[in-house]
Amino acid sequence: MRIVLLGAPGAGKGTQCKRIVARYCLAHLSSGDILRQERGAGTEVGKKAQSYMDSGQLVPDGLIVKMMAGAIGRVAESGFVLDGFPRTVNQAEKLDELLTAEGNEIDAVINLEVDDDIIAGRMTGRRSCPKCGAVYHIENLQPRVDGKCDNDGVALVQRADDTLEVVQNRLKNYHRQTEPVVGYYRENGKVHDIDANREPDEVSSAVFECLDAMVST
Protein backbone atom coordinates (compact mmCIF):
# COMPACT_ATOMS: atom_id res chain seq x y z
CA MET A 1 0.00 0.00 0.00
CA ARG A 2 1.16 3.53 -0.80
CA ILE A 3 -0.67 6.04 1.31
CA VAL A 4 -0.59 9.82 1.61
CA LEU A 5 -1.72 11.30 4.91
CA LEU A 6 -2.93 14.89 4.58
CA GLY A 7 -4.00 17.38 7.24
CA ALA A 8 -2.99 20.71 8.68
CA PRO A 9 0.08 20.86 10.94
CA GLY A 10 -1.13 19.62 14.33
CA ALA A 11 -3.97 17.53 12.85
CA GLY A 12 -2.42 14.40 14.36
CA LYS A 13 -0.65 13.08 11.27
CA GLY A 14 2.39 11.89 13.23
CA THR A 15 0.33 9.93 15.77
CA GLN A 16 -1.91 8.33 13.16
CA CYS A 17 1.04 7.49 10.92
CA LYS A 18 2.77 5.55 13.68
CA ARG A 19 -0.38 3.49 14.17
CA ILE A 20 -0.93 2.91 10.44
CA VAL A 21 2.64 1.74 9.82
CA ALA A 22 2.46 -0.64 12.79
CA ARG A 23 -0.85 -2.16 11.67
CA TYR A 24 -0.04 -2.61 7.98
CA CYS A 25 3.78 -3.03 8.24
CA LEU A 26 4.62 0.03 6.13
CA ALA A 27 7.51 2.48 6.15
CA HIS A 28 6.83 5.90 7.70
CA LEU A 29 8.26 8.76 5.65
CA SER A 30 7.78 12.10 7.42
CA SER A 31 9.25 15.02 5.47
CA GLY A 32 9.40 17.12 8.67
CA ASP A 33 11.28 14.39 10.58
CA ILE A 34 13.70 13.83 7.70
CA LEU A 35 14.36 17.59 7.51
CA ARG A 36 15.00 17.73 11.27
CA GLN A 37 17.44 14.81 10.94
CA GLU A 38 19.22 16.62 8.09
CA ARG A 39 19.47 19.72 10.27
CA GLY A 40 20.73 17.72 13.23
CA ALA A 41 23.39 16.15 11.03
CA GLY A 42 24.37 19.59 9.66
CA THR A 43 23.94 18.57 5.99
CA GLU A 44 23.59 21.03 3.09
CA VAL A 45 19.86 20.20 2.83
CA GLY A 46 19.46 20.85 6.56
CA LYS A 47 21.24 24.20 6.36
CA LYS A 48 19.18 25.33 3.37
CA ALA A 49 15.90 24.32 5.07
CA GLN A 50 16.58 25.91 8.47
CA SER A 51 15.33 29.48 7.99
CA TYR A 52 12.17 28.37 6.17
CA MET A 53 11.31 25.87 8.89
CA ASP A 54 11.87 28.25 11.80
CA SER A 55 9.59 30.88 10.32
CA GLY A 56 6.82 28.44 9.34
CA GLN A 57 7.44 28.76 5.59
CA LEU A 58 7.50 25.81 3.24
CA VAL A 59 10.94 24.66 2.15
CA PRO A 60 11.29 25.10 -1.67
CA ASP A 61 9.72 22.29 -3.72
CA GLY A 62 12.94 21.36 -5.56
CA LEU A 63 14.78 20.59 -2.33
CA ILE A 64 11.90 18.61 -0.82
CA VAL A 65 11.09 16.56 -3.91
CA LYS A 66 14.71 15.47 -4.30
CA MET A 67 14.96 14.58 -0.62
CA MET A 68 11.68 12.61 -0.62
CA ALA A 69 12.48 10.84 -3.92
CA GLY A 70 15.61 9.53 -2.21
CA ALA A 71 13.66 8.42 0.86
CA ILE A 72 10.97 6.68 -1.24
CA GLY A 73 13.67 4.96 -3.31
CA ARG A 74 15.18 3.49 -0.14
CA VAL A 75 11.88 1.83 0.88
CA ALA A 76 10.75 0.95 -2.64
CA GLU A 77 10.21 -2.71 -1.77
CA SER A 78 7.74 -2.12 1.07
CA GLY A 79 4.69 0.09 1.02
CA PHE A 80 4.84 3.46 2.75
CA VAL A 81 2.88 6.24 4.37
CA LEU A 82 3.85 9.78 3.39
CA ASP A 83 3.45 12.22 6.26
CA GLY A 84 3.81 15.94 5.50
CA PHE A 85 4.53 15.36 1.81
CA PRO A 86 3.25 16.41 -0.72
CA ARG A 87 2.38 19.86 0.62
CA THR A 88 1.92 21.69 -2.69
CA VAL A 89 0.17 20.68 -5.93
CA ASN A 90 3.56 20.89 -7.64
CA GLN A 91 5.00 18.37 -5.15
CA ALA A 92 1.97 16.08 -5.72
CA GLU A 93 2.49 16.21 -9.49
CA LYS A 94 6.19 15.45 -9.12
CA LEU A 95 5.38 12.54 -6.80
CA ASP A 96 2.95 11.12 -9.36
CA GLU A 97 5.59 11.40 -12.10
CA LEU A 98 8.08 9.61 -9.89
CA LEU A 99 5.72 6.75 -9.03
CA THR A 100 4.35 6.40 -12.56
CA ALA A 101 7.89 6.00 -13.88
CA GLU A 102 8.17 2.93 -11.62
CA GLY A 103 4.72 1.62 -12.64
CA ASN A 104 3.29 2.53 -9.23
CA GLU A 105 0.67 4.92 -7.86
CA ILE A 106 -0.78 6.27 -4.62
CA ASP A 107 -3.49 3.86 -3.41
CA ALA A 108 -5.24 6.02 -0.84
CA VAL A 109 -5.20 9.55 0.55
CA ILE A 110 -6.32 9.98 4.15
CA ASN A 111 -7.41 13.57 4.84
CA LEU A 112 -7.49 14.46 8.55
CA GLU A 113 -9.90 17.37 9.04
CA VAL A 114 -9.51 19.54 12.18
CA ASP A 115 -10.77 23.04 13.09
CA ASP A 116 -8.06 25.75 13.24
CA ASP A 117 -8.74 26.75 16.89
CA ILE A 118 -8.32 23.14 18.06
CA ILE A 119 -5.05 22.91 16.13
CA ALA A 120 -3.67 26.12 17.66
CA GLY A 121 -4.30 24.75 21.19
CA ARG A 122 -2.71 21.40 20.35
CA MET A 123 0.43 22.87 18.81
CA THR A 124 1.27 25.73 21.16
CA GLY A 125 0.97 23.32 24.12
CA ARG A 126 3.25 20.73 22.55
CA ARG A 127 6.64 20.04 24.19
CA SER A 128 9.23 17.50 23.12
CA CYS A 129 12.40 15.90 24.37
CA PRO A 130 15.44 17.11 22.40
CA LYS A 131 17.22 13.83 23.21
CA CYS A 132 14.73 11.00 22.46
CA GLY A 133 12.03 12.90 20.54
CA ALA A 134 9.16 11.92 22.91
CA VAL A 135 6.24 14.35 22.57
CA TYR A 136 4.11 15.74 25.44
CA HIS A 137 1.40 18.37 25.87
CA ILE A 138 1.17 20.86 28.75
CA GLU A 139 -2.50 19.92 29.34
CA ASN A 140 -3.39 16.71 27.53
CA LEU A 141 -0.24 14.61 27.87
CA GLN A 142 1.82 15.78 30.83
CA PRO A 143 5.15 14.18 31.78
CA ARG A 144 5.39 12.62 35.25
CA VAL A 145 7.73 15.42 36.39
CA ASP A 146 6.83 18.91 35.17
CA GLY A 147 9.03 19.93 32.19
CA LYS A 148 11.13 16.73 32.22
CA CYS A 149 11.07 13.78 29.81
CA ASP A 150 9.75 10.52 31.32
CA ASN A 151 12.33 8.48 29.39
CA ASP A 152 15.56 10.31 30.22
CA GLY A 153 14.81 13.29 32.50
CA VAL A 154 16.04 15.78 29.87
CA ALA A 155 14.35 19.24 29.98
CA LEU A 156 11.49 19.44 27.47
CA VAL A 157 11.52 22.15 24.82
CA GLN A 158 8.99 23.87 22.58
CA ARG A 159 9.78 23.50 18.89
CA ALA A 160 10.66 26.91 17.38
CA ASP A 161 7.79 26.42 14.94
CA ASP A 162 5.17 25.65 17.63
CA THR A 163 4.91 29.23 18.98
CA LEU A 164 1.56 31.01 18.41
CA GLU A 165 2.84 33.41 15.77
CA VAL A 166 4.51 30.66 13.76
CA VAL A 167 1.54 28.30 14.18
CA GLN A 168 -0.78 30.95 12.74
CA ASN A 169 1.61 31.40 9.85
CA ARG A 170 1.76 27.65 9.24
CA LEU A 171 -2.05 27.39 9.24
CA LYS A 172 -2.31 30.27 6.76
CA ASN A 173 0.24 28.55 4.51
CA TYR A 174 -1.63 25.27 4.88
CA HIS A 175 -4.92 26.75 3.65
CA ARG A 176 -3.22 28.58 0.81
CA GLN A 177 -0.73 25.98 -0.41
CA THR A 178 -1.69 22.53 0.87
CA GLU A 179 -5.50 22.45 0.83
CA PRO A 180 -5.40 22.48 -2.99
CA VAL A 181 -3.50 19.15 -2.76
CA VAL A 182 -6.69 17.59 -1.32
CA GLY A 183 -8.55 18.86 -4.41
CA TYR A 184 -5.82 17.44 -6.66
CA TYR A 185 -6.25 13.95 -5.21
CA ARG A 186 -10.04 14.25 -4.98
CA GLU A 187 -10.21 14.31 -8.77
CA ASN A 188 -9.11 10.67 -8.90
CA GLY A 189 -11.50 9.58 -6.14
CA LYS A 190 -8.84 8.37 -3.69
CA VAL A 191 -9.51 10.77 -0.81
CA HIS A 192 -11.01 9.54 2.46
CA ASP A 193 -12.09 12.44 4.70
CA ILE A 194 -11.73 11.72 8.41
CA ASP A 195 -13.12 13.94 11.20
CA ALA A 196 -9.96 14.37 13.31
CA ASN A 197 -11.41 16.77 15.90
CA ARG A 198 -11.94 13.61 17.99
CA GLU A 199 -9.71 11.66 20.37
CA PRO A 200 -6.76 9.88 18.65
CA ASP A 201 -8.25 6.38 19.23
CA GLU A 202 -11.52 7.32 17.55
CA VAL A 203 -9.62 8.84 14.63
CA SER A 204 -7.51 5.65 14.29
CA SER A 205 -10.65 3.48 14.22
CA ALA A 206 -12.06 5.55 11.36
CA VAL A 207 -8.75 5.41 9.46
CA PHE A 208 -8.41 1.62 9.95
CA GLU A 209 -11.97 1.11 8.74
CA CYS A 210 -11.06 2.74 5.40
CA LEU A 211 -7.74 0.97 5.01
CA ASP A 212 -9.01 -2.46 6.14
CA ALA A 213 -11.66 -2.23 3.44
CA MET A 214 -8.93 -1.55 0.88
CA VAL A 215 -6.73 -4.41 2.06
CA SER A 216 -9.57 -6.91 1.90
CA THR A 217 -10.56 -6.00 -1.68
Scan residues 3-22 and list those touching ligand AMP (CB under 6 A). 9
| Distances 213 to 108, 150, 208, 209 between C-alpha atoms, Å | 11, 37, 8, 6
Which of these segments, 16-24, 79-87, 103-111, 197-205, binds ligand AMP (CB under 6 A)? 79-87
Which of these segments, 70-78, 82-90, 123-131, 200-208, binds ligand AMP (CB under 6 A)? 82-90
How crowded is residue 42: how many other Cβ atoms within 10 Å of its Cβ? 8
- Answer for which of 8, 11, 81, 87 binds ligand AMP (CB under 6 A) is 87
Closest to ligand AMP by CB, 85 or 184 = 85
Residue 155 and residue 147 in contact, taking contact as beta carbons nearer than 8 Å: yes
Q: Is 186 a catalytic residue?
A: no
Kindly state the smallest distance separating residue 111's Cβ from ligand AMP, in Å.
15
Q: Is 170 a catalytic residue?
A: yes
By CB under 6 A, residue 184 contacts ligand AMP: no
DSSP letter string, the chain: -EEEEEE-TTSSHHHHHHHHHHHHT-EEEEHHHHHHHHHHTT-HHHHHHHHHHHTTPPPPHHHHHHHHHHHHHHTTTS-EEEES---SHHHHHHHHHHHHHTT----EEEEEE--HHHHHHHHHTEEE-TTT--EEETTTB--SSTTB-TTT-PBPB--GGGSHHHHHHHHHHIIIIIHHHHHHHHTTT-EEEEE-SS-HHHHHHHHHHHHHHHHT-
Q: Is 122 a catalytic residue?
A: no
- Answer for which of 18, 27, 48, 52 binds ligand AMP (CB under 6 A) is 52
Kindly state the smallest distance separating residue 112's Cβ from ligand AMP, in Å.
13
Q: Is 87 a catalytic residue?
A: yes
Q: Is 19 a catalytic residue?
A: no
Indicate which residue of 2, 13, 74, 131 is catalytic.
13
Which of these segments, 52-60, 141-149, 182-190, 205-213, binds ligand AMP (CB under 6 A)? 52-60
* Site residues, ligand AMP (CB under 6 A): 9, 31-32, 35, 52-53, 56-59, 64, 84-85, 87, 91, 161, 170
Question: Could you list the active site residues?
Answer: 13, 87, 126, 159, 170
